[in-house]
Homo-oligomer: A and B are copies of this chain.
Amino acid sequence: MKNYYSKYNTEYPWLIKEEGWVKLLQGVRESQLALGNGFLGSRAVLEEIPYEATPGTYIAGVYDRIGSHVAELVNLPNPFNFKIGVDGERLGVITMDVVEHRRILNLRHGLLCRHTIYQDSKKKKYDYQSIRFVSMHDKNIGVMQIIFTPLDDGVEVSIETGIDTSVYNVRTVTEGRKRHFRIKEVGQFKNEGYLIVETFGKLHRAIFRSGFYYETRGKKTEAKDNIFELKLRKNQTVKFTKIFCVEAASEKEDLGSTKRSSEKKFRKAFNASFDCLLRRHIRAWEGLWNVAEVSIWGDPEVEKNFRFNIYHMLACGPKDNGASSIAARALTGEGYRGHIFWDTEIFLFPFYLYTLPDIARNMLMYRYRRLEAARARAKKNRFKGAMFPWESADSGEDETPGWAKDLDGKVIRIHTGKMEHHITANIAYAFYHYYNATQDEKFFRDYGYEILFETARFWASRVEYNKRKKKYEIKQVIGPDEFHVDVNNNAFTNMMAKWNLLTAYNMSKKLRKSNTAGYKKLVQKIGLSAREVAEWKNIAARISVNKRRGQIIEQFDGYFKKRKVKIADWDENFVPVVSEKLTPRDYGKTQLVKQADVIMLLYLLSDVFSLKTKRENYAYYVDRTIHKSSLSLPVYARMAIDVGDKNRGYRFFHTALRTDISNINNNTNEGIHAACMGGSWQVLINGFAGVKIEKGILSVNPKMPRIWRKIIFSLHWGGTLLRLEVKNNKIKIQLVSPGRKKVKIKVFGILHSLAGDKPFEFERKKPVKEREAYYL
C-alpha cells in the first residue's frame, strides 16, 4: 500500500514516532503527540476515539469553575473525531486487530501522521492513513485528512464525523468526571455543521464550524452531512478532508459578531485547497524554527529530544496579549487543571524571552491584566500592593484547591494557596528580566514599573520587624520545597522579597531621573509616597538569611535542626529513592527537600552569590533533595554545571530532558511538563552553552559535554537577533538583523562590541582540556 504522507516525513531528526499500538501508553501518546498553536490545543487521541481514550481540546484561557473545586481548563468538544464502520464493524485499535500501526509527529511542521492496517473479524484488511494539524498560520483553523482503502473486499462504509461533544474533564478523586459546557446551538448551514457551546459559568463561548468532502476515483463530493454511508470496491481508495474553525468569545464579546467572523474564517479555509492550508501552516512553523532551532552536533538523540521540548513550547506560546498564559501542562492535558504557576515566569519565560519576545511580552501582559485582582487579593489578606495568586486561571483570583492527592495517593489538605507567596517576587523578576534583555522602555513604562512597585509594596507590608534581631522577617510561608509547610524566613522567599524591594527602589530612582513626568504620573496613579520608596531600601537592607559555617544557607528557621534522613538508594536517573517507611506526611519532619529551594535562590540570583557559596550549598542540598517536582532537576543540572559536578550535571540534564518523551514521572498522560521543558532549555543555553547575564551584560562561556561537537542557536538580545555557533573553545556570532546600536557581549570573559552582519569568531585563550569538559 502506498504511504501517502511519507513525503511529509523525510527528515529523521525531526520525527517522533509511535510504533505499534500499546493500550497502556494511550494517554501518554495523546500528550506527547499533541498539536497546538497557542490558541488551540488538541491531544493526539486516535480519530476513532477508542475506549478509555482521553480526548482533550482546549482553548487557551477558557476555564470554568462550576461543579469543580476551583476553575479548570475546559475540555471542549473534539473536532478530530472520525469514525469509520465497515459492514457494521468499527475501525479502531480496540474493535479490530491491528496489523500495523505507526504515528509520526513531525516537530518541524507540526503535523501528526498515522498509518494503521486493520483486520476485521472476518480477517479482511483495511488500510487507514491520516494527517492532521492545528494551523499555525491561522489559529482558528484545524485540518484532518483520512485516506482509507479496503484491501480484501468491497465494503459498505459508514462515516461519522461530527464535533464530538461526549467529552469530559478528567476524573478527580473528589469530583468525578465532569463536563464544563453545555450545548447552546447546533445546526447545519450550507455544507457546514456548527456548534456553539457555553461554559457552565457563562464566561466563555466557543463556536465550532466544520465541513468536509471526500474524493474517490478523482471525483470530489462535498458531504452535506457528517454522517453518511458509501460503497467502496476492493482497493478503491477514498480520501476524506475535514476542515474546522474554532473561535472563542468571552462573555464581554458579542456572540453575533463572533459568529459572523467565524463563518467568514471557516468559509475562507474551506474554500482553500488542502495543499494550500498545509503550505501556509508549514511556512508559519518554519518561521518559528528559524529562531527557535537548536542544533546539537554529535548527539542526534539529545538533539531530537531537545527539539521535542521546543516543539511543545512553540505549540503553546500565547498570542492573545495577556488573555491567557501557559499552564503547567500547557494545552496538552488537564494536570494541575490548566493552572498557571510561577513555573511560567521562572522556567518557561526565558525560552520565549530570548527566541520569541512577543510571546514573552504576552505572558507578562497576562499578569499585568490581573494586577487589579492581585491588588484585591492583597487587600483581602490585609496587605498592600499586589499579591499574585499561587495558582491562576482566567480571573486572576487564587485557584489553588484546598486539597489534593499526595504523592502516595492519599487526599490531603494543601496550604500552598495561602502560604506560597514567593510567586509575587517571581513575577516581578520576570518583568525585570524582560527589561534587561529587551531594553523595551515603552513596555516598562506602560506596565513594568507598576508591577515592580506594587509587588515591592506587597513585600513591604508582608514583612514583620523583629526588634530583638533588628531584622525584617517573613513568617508563615511555604518555599519552593513544599514538604515544609508554614515556615519562617524561607531563604528563597526572603531573598526574592529583598531583591524585589531593592530592584523596585533602584528602578524608581532610574525612572524618576530619566522620565520625571512619567514617574510622577505613575506615582499619582498608584498613590505611592516617597517615604514608601525609601522604606523599600531600608527594609531590603534588613532582610537576611541564616547561614552556618559561613556559607550553608539555612532553608528556613530551624531547618538545620530537622532530622537528617540518609539517602541510601538512587534510581537509574540518579534521583534519590526514599525508604517507604517514611510517608510523605513525615517528610516535613526531616531535612528532605522536595525540589530546589536554596539552590533555586542561587540559580535566580546567580550574580549575588560566590562560586564558593554555590559549591558548598550544592554539595549540602543535593544530598537532601529528592526531586519530587519536575522543576528540580533542571535547576540542579545547571548548578551542577556551574560548580563542576560534571557527571551528575549531565545526568540531571538528561533526565530532565526526557521527562515527557520517556514518561519519567509516569504522569505524562496528564499533559507534558512545560516548565521542565523550559528548564531544560535553560540548562542547555545558560549551562552548557554558558550564556549568562552578568550584571546586565550578555556573556558566553561554554562548558559543553565532550561528545557534543557544537551547538548552534539564535537569541534575541537588546532588540537584535544573534546567531551563535558554540564550541568549548571557539564561538561564532553573527548579528542577523543588526541595528544601529552596537551589541556588547562578553565572550570567554572578554567584553566585545559587535556591529554589522558579518560573523565574528572568537577563540578561548587557554583552551579547555578534554578531561575538563563534560562527559558521561
Chain A contact residues, CB within 8 Å of chain B:
48, 50-51, 66-70, 83, 85, 87-90, 92, 94-96, 120-122, 158, 160, 162, 165-168, 171, 173-179, 182-187, 200, 226-227, 229, 401-403, 411
Contacts and interface: CB of A to CB of B under 8 A. Distances in A.
B69 A175 contact: no
A165 B402 CA distance: 31
Given A165-B165, A183-B183, A186-B183, A174 B401 contact: no
A88 B175 contact: yes
B51 A70 contact: no
A122 B48 CA distance: 40
Given A95-B175, A183-B183, 10 more contacts: A66-B229, A67-B158, A68-B90, A89-B175, A90-B175, A121-B403, A121-B411, A122-B403, A165-B183, A185-B187
Contact of A186 (B167, B178, B186, B403): B186
Contacts of A403: 121-122
Contacts of A69: 87-89
A85 B227 contact: no
A177 B158 CA distance: 15
Given A88-B175, A186-B183, A83 B95 contact: no
Q: Which of A48, A69, A175 has the most CB of B within 10 A?
A: A175
A200 B96 contact: no
Contact of A83 (B67, B166, B174, B185): B67
Leading 8 A-B pairs by shortest Cβ distance = A69-B88, A89-B174, A90-B175, A95-B176, A90-B176, A166-B166, A67-B85, A200-B227
A198 to B, nearest CB: 10
A176 B120 contact: no
A165 B659 CA distance: 38
B186 A185 contact: yes
B171 A401 contact: no
A218 to B, nearest CB: 27
Copies in the complex: 2
23 contacts: A48-B176, A51-B176, A66-B85, A67-B90, A67-B160, A67-B227, A69-B88, A69-B89, A83-B178, A88-B174, A90-B174, A90-B178, A121-B173, A121-B403, A121-B411, A160-B200, A162-B182, A165-B165, A165-B166, A166-B179, A182-B226, A182-B227, A186-B186
Contacts of A167: 166
Nearest to A120: B174
Contacts of A122: 403
A179 B83 CA distance: 11
Contacts of A66: 85, 158, 160, 227, 229
A293 B713 CA distance: 85
A403 B173 CA distance: 40
Contacts of A402: 88
Nearest to A401: B88
B165 A121 contact: no
A176 B179 CA distance: 22
Contacts of A158: 66-67
Nearest to A185: B186
A162 B67 CA distance: 13
Nearest to A83: B67
A171 B179 CA distance: 21
B183 A94 contact: no
Contacts of A175: 85, 88-90, 95
A462 B50 CA distance: 45
A368 to B, nearest CB: 28
B94 A70 contact: no
A171 B94 CA distance: 10
Nearest to A96: B174
Q: Which of A183, A184, A185 has the most CB of B within 10 A?
A: A183
A186 B197 CA distance: 11
A55 to B, nearest CB: 12
A409 to B, nearest CB: 13
Nearest to A226: B182
A591 B182 CA distance: 58
Contacts of A168: 166
A186 B182 CA distance: 10
B90 A70 contact: no
Q: Which of A92, A121, A178 has the most CB of B within 10 A?
A: A121
A199 to B, nearest CB: 10
Nearest to A95: B176
A121 B174 contact: yes
Contacts of A96: 174
A90 B173 CA distance: 9
A431 to B, nearest CB: 32
A153 to B, nearest CB: 14
A51 B90 contact: no
A184 B183 contact: no
A505 to B, nearest CB: 41
A645 to B, nearest CB: 42
Contacts of A182: 162, 186, 226-227
A158 B160 CA distance: 34
A726 to B, nearest CB: 50
